Amino acid sequence: MSVAPSVSWPSKRLRFLTSRHGHDTSHVLLSDKTEVTFLPMEAIGEQGELDLSRVRPIGEVRAGYTQIHDGDVVVAKITPCFENGKGALVRGLLGGIGFGTTELHVLTPGLGIDGRYLYYVTVDPRFRRLGESFMTGAAGQQRVPEDFVRDYSVPLPPLPQQRAIADYLDRETARIDALVAAKERVLALLAEKRRALTTRAVTRGLDSGVPLRDSGIPWLGEIPAHWTQCHLKRALAGVDYGISESVGTSGAIAVLRMGDIREGEIDYSSVGFVDAVDESLLLRPGDLVFNRTNSLDQIAKVALFRGNTDYPVSFASYLVRFRCGPRVIPEFLNWLLNSAFPLAWGRAQALPAIGQANLNPNRYGYLPIALPPVPEQHKVVEFIASSTSRLDAMRMATERTIQLLKERRSALIAAAVTGQIEVEAAT
């Protein structure tokens, strides 16, 4: 038995194939102390994964959250979760019932549609692309309306064929997901090797036979005996706060913000702009930009400004500019400050606030560091550049493979739920 081409399948809108639990009052009979599964958005993956580890007393969630049952298909409604494919066929809820974020559409399969087939319909790239075009709301808070989901027309083969398609996609997507997971482990190993290589180079140098001495600093340990110890502030020639003006999408001068610092470099893809700033707050090549206010995992990250020929560049007030003194070259300090221990030290010095943390640059200036002579710093930088370029080439190739596998997964789902491929089914 094989699946027929989609041209012979009727189409039906989801409103005639699914129902909603919105008026299900079965949970009212449960004690307020009864524990149920709780699903915030972060518990829902982009490949159908669910983290069912969170439980809450039903008294805390029966009002103000979305009710979910085993067998339901959930679809994220808010950007960018919808576009990224967040959704799942729900199974394994504690007691068969759960509650979750209100940013979910919940579809309960009726008698005419298989739940697994319905899930694959909702991750079909065509469903996601079309849904994106129907989004409403303010920028950053756009949502897919319920009417779009309920009026979406689904190719509907007979139930045995739906189950055959779901069985096939379960097998094939699991195989692809395993390959992706293996490639992601390679990425993690490459990242760890890169961190270890750069950390050792900026704390021990390149000569394994050089005499060592105890630095007296736990995170540094032993250092080459000829290196100089100091606090970070002694290696700097200047520390400046950025501008506080409102930033827009157009203007003559780019303004870096906290999200523009990535892996020691500057990402210009989403910079803001202003018409004018004080000339003293324009960046020049060799300046370091320091993240003083952000979520704790982003605090203390530093990026090197290498120059920009497209437009002048300044920086926002929650960033700080470091200018290096004569004892340190900017690229060496960039590698040093982005290594594991200085980042951890900086975050330990940060003061928490609501939704973010703040690290005072004066406090951070007491970070203890060790510096080799400037000629040796140049050699360390050259070594790191050469070594990391090879690792980065491997990373990019691996990332490209992952992207191709994900594209293959999406194409496979799209083809299967429209009958473009034949699927063998048990008779």
Average pLDDT over residues 224-243: 93
Is it the case that residue 182 has pLDDT exceeding 90?
Answer: yes
Is it the case that residue 262 has pLDDT exceeding 90?
Answer: no
Is it the case that residue 387 has pLDDT exceeding 80?
Answer: yes
Is the distance from CB of 294 to CB of 256 less than 8 angstroms? no
Dihedral angle of Cα 297, 303, 309, 314, to the nearest 10 degrees: 70
User: 24-33, 69-78, 135-144: lowest mean pLDDT where?
Assistant: 24-33
What is the reported pLDDT for 248? 85
Is it the case that residue 346 has pLDDT exceeding 80?
Answer: yes
Confidence of residue 299 (pLDDT cuts 50, 70, 90): confident
User: 72-81, 121-130, 406-415, 417-426: lowest mean pLDDT where?
Assistant: 417-426
Tokens of 85: 């494919």
Q: Where are the domains of the chain?
A: 9-156, 238-360
Tokens of 358: 């703040």
Task: Note whether 9-156 and 238-360 share their fold.
Answer: yes
Average pLDDT over residues 330-359: 88
Is it the case that residue 105 has pLDDT exceeding 70?
Answer: yes
From CA 283, how far away is CA 321, in angstroms rounded?
8
What is the reported pLDDT for 307? 92
From CA 58, how far away is CA 339, in angstroms rounded?
45
What is the reported pLDDT for 427? 53
- Sign, Cα dihedral of 304, 310, 316, 322: positive
What is the maximum span of the chain, computed from C-alpha positions, in angstroms? 80
Is it the case that residue 273 has pLDDT exceeding 80?
Answer: yes
What is the reported pLDDT for 1? 31
- Percent of the chain, pLDDT > 90? 70
The CATH homologous superfamily for domain 9-156 is DNA methylase specificity domains (3.90.220.20)
Record the pTM. Answer: 0.78
What is the reported pLDDT for 32? 81
- Percent of the chain, pLDDT > 70? 95
Is it the case that residue 95 has pLDDT exceeding 80?
Answer: yes
Is it the case that residue 426 has pLDDT exceeding 60?
Answer: no
Average pLDDT over residues 240-266: 88
Confidence of residue 25 (pLDDT cuts 50, 70, 90): low
The architecture that CATH gives domain 238-360 is Alpha-Beta Complex (3.90)
